[in-house]
Amino acid sequence: QRKKRLDALEVMGWVCAKAVVDGRLLDLPLSLPLCRALLGIPLEHADLRYIAPQVWRTMQELQGVLEEKRKLEAELSPEEAAKAVEGLGLGGVPLADLCIGFTVPGFDNVALREGGEEESLSVHNLQDFLTLLPQVILVSAVEPLLQAFRTGFSKVLSIDCLRLFCVEEVLEMFGSDKGLLQWTPDQLLHAFKFEHGYSSNSATARLLVEVLCELPLPTKRKFVSFCTGCPRLPVGGFGALRPALTVVRKESSRAPTEQQLPSVMTCANYLKLPEYLSASVLKDRLLVAVYEADGSFHLS
């Protein structure tokens, strides 16, 4: 199982590098800690909230217990403090009674130090637990996986090339939805190419961009995938899409316009849109096409 994970990370690294070299889009939202690590930035305790949110929340609670212990030791005599700290814990239950092993939460076979499987968490070793847990999760456990990704990436492109970018740019390069978040009608009218019956001044063109701007993010992803084959846009949004998304009027005598569905030529980013007369009909027909065509491929 471990070898399969390492092999998968190596392939992932290779694919990411190949996408960079070939200028291809990937819908692969890498985590913030992974991007930081790939750029050689040491991971911090706060990165646990992205990697293991439940562990992060538990650590925050345990940190509160540790601070309370220090406060008691500073305010009380040694004998009184020793007695008072024994009752510290979570949810009113002393730490010693919670039977928490000195291991990575959820992985009883991963000890934080030698003999950790046989050791239980208490107020006396809490400081060591809070120090060792992030080290094991953020360094020891993930380093082999990071190395596998680097190995795969370096088979195509030197991993040092990523250092040309900041963390936010690496995130956007491989899986950000930033290009889908701030659409405006005027922006889309300018970015789209209207031909064969439509222009940017056409009523249906205006209805289309207004409907698109009102869609929630998951549906925007569906629309972009419907038109381009990938649910995300390049850096720069529709303005950077090549070829540009072309919208043409779809003509058919088989059915009334309000019953027709849009269709696409995905390889050319080409949307064939019937001349709908209302936003409600356009939205209804567009959503039917976008969702029902998911995973479908036809030659025409």
Between CA 235 and CA 166, with CA 145 as vertex, the angle to 5 degrees is: 30
CA–CA dist 179, 223 (Å, integer): 13
Residue 203 predicted with pLDDT over 90: yes
The letter for the amino acid at 203 is A
Cα–Cα nearest to 11, from 158, 174, 152 = 152
> What pLDDT is stored for residue 183 in this prediction?
94
Query: What pLDDT is attached to residue 300?
Result: 58
Q: Which of 16, 166, 230, 267 is catalytic?
A: 267
Q: Which residue has the higher pLDDT, 297 or 27?
A: 27
In three-state secondary structure terms, 111 is strand
Confidence of residue 25 (pLDDT cuts 50, 70, 90): confident
pLDDT digits (tens, 9 = 90+) for 244-292: 999 999 987 678 889 999 999 998 999 999 999 999 999 999 999 999 9
* Confidence (pLDDT) at 297: 66
* Catalytic (active site) residue 267: yes
